[in-house]
C-alpha cells in the first residue's frame, strides 16, 4: 500500500503530446549526459558544439541530424556506438532504452518544443556529487552478493529441517546475516547512483519500482535477521521458525522482482524470451 501511495502522483500525471514528450525527454537526457562536454556554460565546448540543449539548433544542423532518418544522423550514430558521451569521461554511455528515445526523437522529425516538459536536469559537478556518483557505480557489482546469499538461505533452511544438522542451521544464519549487510549496502549504493541516471518512458517506471523494491528488500533482510536470531535464542519454537521460513520465501520474491526490474533498465522489460 505504501508503494502504491508513492506511485499515485506519477499515475495521475497528464500525458504530453507525443512530440513534446519526446523533445522533453531528449532535452532532459542531453542535460544529464552531454552538458559535461557540450554545455553552453563551457569556455571551450568539445567540437564547438556547446548548444546541445538548444534542440532547435541541434535539429537544424545537417551534420548532426537528418530529421526522420536516424541512420544518417551523426549524433545518433555516435550515441548508438557509445562514442558519445566520451568513453574517457565520467558520464556512462546511454542505455539501450535511452538510445531508443534519441532514435524515436529523430524519427519524429527532431521536435524542439519542450514547453510541456520538465526542462533540463543539470547537476553541478561538485566534489560531493562526484563522490556520491562514483560510489553509486558499484551498485550493479554489489547487487549479486546479497541476491545469492539471501536466496540460498531458503534451501539451507529446508535442509536443516530435513536433516536436523546444526551445520545447516549455521549456514542459514551466516547467509541471512551477511546477505542483510550486503542488501543494505546495495540499496544505499543504488540511491547514490540514482541522481546520475536519466531514464524516460517505460524505463522510468522500471527505475521507480526497482528503487523501491530494492529498498524494501533491504528492510526485509534486516527484519529477517532479527526474526532468525529471535527464533535461535528461544530454541526455535515451531511457530516462530515457520514465520522465519515464510519471511525467506517473501524475501526471494522481493529479490527476484528487484533483480528483474534492474536488468530491465539495461535489456528492456521483455528481456526474458523463450
Spell out the per-residue pLDDT of the chain, length 274, in tens.
444 444 443 333 333 447 778 888 888 888 888 887 887 777 777 877 788 888 888 888 888 899 888 888 999 998 898 888 888 777 888 888 888 989 999 988 988 876 644 443 334 446 777 788 788 888 888 888 888 998 999 999 999 999 989 999 999 999 999 999 999 999 999 988 876 665 556 667 888 899 999 999 999 999 999 999 999 899 989 999 999 999 999 999 999 999 998 888 777 777 676 6
Per the CB < 8 A criterion, the answer to whether 102 and 206 are in contact is no
Class of domain 133-267: mainly alpha
Domain layout of the chain by residue ranges? 13-122, 133-267
pTM comes to: 0.55
Listed residue (139, 175, 193) closest to 251, CA to CA: 175
Per the CB < 8 A criterion, the answer to whether 73 and 106 are in contact is yes
Per the CB < 8 A criterion, the answer to whether 39 and 50 are in contact is yes
pLDDT at 200: 55
User: Rounded distance, CA 63 to CA 40, Å?
Assistant: 19
Look up residue 82 and give its three cell numbers. Answer: 557509445
Per the CB < 8 A criterion, the answer to whether 182 and 217 are in contact is no
pLDDT at 201: 61
Q: Where does residue 164 fall: left (phi above 0), alpha (psi -120 to 50 degrees), or beta otherwise? A: left
pLDDT at 2: 44
Amino acid at each position: 500500500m505504501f508503494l502504491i501511495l508513492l506511485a499515485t502522483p506519477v499515475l495521475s500525471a497528464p500525458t504530453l503530446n507525443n512530440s513534446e514528450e519526446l523533445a522533453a525527454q531528449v532535452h532532459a537526457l542531453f542535460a544529464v549526459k552531454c552538458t559535461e562536454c557540450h554545455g553552453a556554460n563551457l569556455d571551450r565546448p568539445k567540437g564547438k558544439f556547446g548548444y546541445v540543449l538548444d534542440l532547435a539548433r541541434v535539429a537544424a544542423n545537417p551534420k548532426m541530424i537528418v530529421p526522420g532518418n536516424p541512420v544518417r544522423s551523426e549524433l545518433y550514430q555516435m550515441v548508438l556506438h557509445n562514442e558519445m558521451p566520451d568513453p574517457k569521461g565520467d558520464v556512462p554511455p546511454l542505455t539501450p532504452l535511452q538510445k531508443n528515445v534519441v532514435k524515436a526523437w529523430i524519427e519524429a522529425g527532431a521536435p524542439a518544443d519542450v514547453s510541456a516538459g520538465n526542462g533540463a536536469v543539470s547537476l553541478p559537478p561538485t566534489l560531493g556529487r562526484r563522490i556520491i556518483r562514483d560510489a553509486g557505480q558499484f551498485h550493479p557489482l554489489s547487487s549479486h552478493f546479497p541476491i545469492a546469499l539471501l536466496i540460498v538461505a531458503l534451501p539451507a533452511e529446508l535442509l536443516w529441517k530435513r536433516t536436523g544438522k546444526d551445520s545447516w542451521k549455521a549456514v542459514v544464519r551466516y547467509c541471512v546475516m551477511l546477505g542483510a549487510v550486503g542488501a543494505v549496502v546495495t540499496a544505499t549504493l543504488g540511491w547514490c547512483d540514482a541522481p546520475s541516471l536519466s531514464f524516460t518512458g517505460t524505463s522510468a517506471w522500471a527505475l521507480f519500482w526497482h528503487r523501491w523494491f530494492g529498498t524494501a528488500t533491504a528492510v526485509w533482510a534486516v527484519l529477517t535477521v532479527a526474526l532468525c536470531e529471535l527464533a535461535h535464542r528461544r530454541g526455535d519454537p515451531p511457530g516462530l521458525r515457520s514465520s522465519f521460513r515464510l519471511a525467506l520465501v517473501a524475501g526471494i520474491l522481493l529479490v527476484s522482482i528487484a533483480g528483474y526490474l534492474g536488468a530491465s533498465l539495461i535489456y528492456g522489460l521483455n528481456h526474458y524470451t523463450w
